[in-house]
């Protein structure tokens, strides 16, 4: 069978007599082009070029007329890209050259001035940093919104008592609010990684050239200012070979997905008939094509599955840069798929959890019944004995004997009589056995980070405070449309 033909490409703008006058082999150009992915970076690239033109005009490398024409054409293309009407034809190695080729066609000699004092190396680095900064900020905003929603949900679930688990076995009683707070804290640690990714991307690389800067009288600070970068990268050679910010981005994305995956696993478990702690609302339940009784938590299973792609994106970036020599290498072209996939992937999962959580309801009766036999309060019994002066290891062993007695008699630990307990250790009394009530056990843990209602309230307050701080960090990053206005405000008359 004949394979489908490759897109028609010629690839001429980045070729000279030194490169060779013959066009590159079409099949190889089609195979090496990054246009299919680069099209998703077109708005960032157009803004970077507009900022570059602004700087070239300021330092006198462009006259006012050429600068006006170039910036006007770039902004017009940006508007087209925003509307989804911009056509980037095949024929160049990447979107950066395709844009320059169009400008040269439309503006003639003026278009040929765009690439003054710039290499594709620092141009690509700028577009990627703008993309990562924008995507990480948008993802951070949605992640913190979920954290705030979890905090609000936790406030409503303080009175629901549910088992906590270690080794996948019932461990100790906690409140549902405590479990939800655990989910939110894990999510906030991932959100911290997003904030770090923003900071790592938030340096302007333009002006580093191919690897050593330029002899032309540029001012890198101008580009940084109009694009709202607070700092410049420090070393040109390092800059054009740096994808650490992209690694940080894919790492942060994987972290968010992993936290959602663990939350999703709890939800999947809690909604089973074996647990029965959560009820799935009809609006998010999935059925079976064969079994009419099924009410499946497919949304959360798919959220869990998405983490595989997130981890894959991080693994791809780590493997891509492993062993590369210092400086730019064409290998970096393959960073696009991981970098571009991460934002939509993570935000899609966050949105799914946000939309689905409101359709989950705890069953307080089933949750309480799971800890009402007293077995999960064994540690509380031992600690009650300690409060009466019994050494912990002695209290631990005495409690273990009571648990053994209950098992031998096939009764709940909560039903062991005071007389039987005192026969094992004289320090047992009614106050010690009172902690077998799971609500008493939950309320007793007043240590920082514990399950007592006042401690859980503190945790929820801390979640809300941290989420709001991180949300403010996200809001401080200008959107691409804001950057366009920033460039337009910089006079090139």
Report the catalytic residues.
167, 288
Q: What angle do CA 413, 275, 432 make, to 5 degrees?
A: 25
Q: Would you call 44 exposed, middle or buried from its count of C-beta atoms within 10 A (0-12, 13-18, 19+)?
A: buried
How far apart CA 198 and CA 96 sit, in angstroms, is 24
Q: Are 147 and 187 in contact (CB under 8 A)?
A: yes
- DSSP for 383-432, please give it: HHHHHTT--HHHHHHHHHHHHHHHHHHT--GGG--HHHHHHH-TT--HHH
How far apart CA 15 and CA 21 sit, in angstroms, is 7
Assigned token pair, 78 = 């940006």
Q: What angle do CA 226, 339, 50 make, to 5 degrees?
A: 25
**Cα pseudo-dihedral 237, 241, 247, 248, rounded to 10:** 20
How far apart CA 326 and CA 240 sit, in angstroms, is 9
How far apart CA 12 and CA 26 sit, in angstroms, is 11
Assigned token pair, 398 = 């005495």
Residue-wise burial string across 151-184, b where 16 or more C-beta atoms lie within 10 A, e elsewhere: bebbeebbebbbbbeeeeebbbbbbbbbbbbbbb
How far apart CA 154 and CA 243 sit, in angstroms, is 39
Strand duo 360-362 + 278-280: pairing: antiparallel
Which residues 6+ apart lie within 8 Å of 196 measured at CB?
248, 252
Residue 144: which of 417, 412, 468, 370 has the closest Cα?
468
Going by the DSSP 8-state scheme, the letter that residue 149 receives in this structure is H
Residue-wise burial string across 364-382, b where 16 or more C-beta atoms lie within 10 A, e elsewhere: eeebbebbbbbbbbbbbbb
How far apart CA 346 and CA 348 sit, in angstroms, is 5
């Amino acid at each position: 069978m004949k394979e489908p033909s490759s897109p028609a490409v010629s690839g001429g703008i980045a070729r000279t007599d030194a490169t060779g006058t013959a066009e590159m082999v079409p099949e190889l150009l089609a195979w090496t082009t990054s246009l299919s992915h680069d099209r998703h970076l077109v708005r960032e690239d157009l803004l970077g070029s507009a900022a570059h033109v602004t700087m070239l005009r300021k330092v006198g490398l462009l006259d006012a007329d050429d600068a006006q024409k170039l910036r006007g054409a770039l902004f017009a293309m940006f508007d087209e890209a925003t509307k989804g009407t911009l056509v980037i034809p095949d024929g160049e190695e990447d979107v950066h050259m395709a844009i320059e080729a169009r400008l040269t066609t439309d503006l003639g000699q003026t278009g040929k001035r765009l690439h003054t004092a710039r290499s594709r190396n620092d141009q690509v680095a700028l577009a990627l940093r703008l993309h990562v900064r924008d995507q990480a900020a948008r993802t951070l905003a949605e992640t913190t919104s979920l954290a705030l929603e979890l905090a609000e949900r936790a406030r409503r679930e303080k009175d629901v008592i549910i088992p906590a688990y270690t080794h996948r076995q019932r461990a100790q009683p906690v409140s549902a609010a405590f479990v939800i707070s655990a989910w939110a804290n894990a999510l906030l640690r991932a959100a911290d990684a997003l904030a770090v990714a923003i900071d790592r991307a938030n340096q302007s690389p333009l002006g580093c050239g191919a690897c050593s800067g330029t002899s032309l009288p540029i001012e890198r600070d101008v580009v940084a200012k109009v694009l709202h970068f607070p700092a410049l990268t420090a070393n040109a050679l390092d800059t054009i070979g740096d994808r650490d910010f992209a690694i940080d981005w894919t790492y942060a994305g994987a972290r968010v997905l992993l936290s959602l995956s663990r939350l999703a696993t709890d939800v999947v478990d809690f909604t089973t008939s074996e647990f029965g702690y959560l009820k799935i609302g009809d609006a998010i339940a999935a059925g079976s094509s064969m079994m009419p009784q099924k009410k499946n938590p497919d949304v959360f299973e798919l959220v869990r599955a998405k983490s595989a792609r997130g981890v894959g994106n991080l693994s791809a970036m780590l493997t891509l840069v492993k062993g590369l020599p210092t400086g730019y290498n064409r290998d970096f072209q393959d960073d696009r798929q991981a970098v571009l996939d991460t934002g939509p992937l993570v935000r899609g999962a966050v949105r799914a959890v946000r939309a689905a959580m409101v359709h989950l309801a705890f069953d307080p009766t089933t949750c309480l019944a799971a800890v009402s036999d007293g077995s999960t309060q064994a540690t509380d019994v031992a600690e009650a004995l300690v409060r009466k002066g019994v050494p912990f290891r002695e209290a631990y062993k005495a409690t273990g004997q009571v648990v053994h007695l209950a098992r031998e008699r096939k009764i709940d630990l909560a039903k062991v009589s005071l007389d039987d307990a005192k026969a094992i250790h004289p320090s047992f009394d009614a106050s010690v056995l009172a902690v077998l009530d799971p609500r008493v056990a939950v309320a007793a843990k007043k240590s920082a980070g514990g399950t007592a209602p006042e401690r859980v309230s503190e945790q929820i307050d801390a979640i809300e405070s941290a989420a709001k701080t991180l949300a403010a960090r996200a809001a401080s990053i200008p959107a691409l449309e804001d950057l366009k206005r920033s460039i337009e405000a910089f006079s090139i008359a």
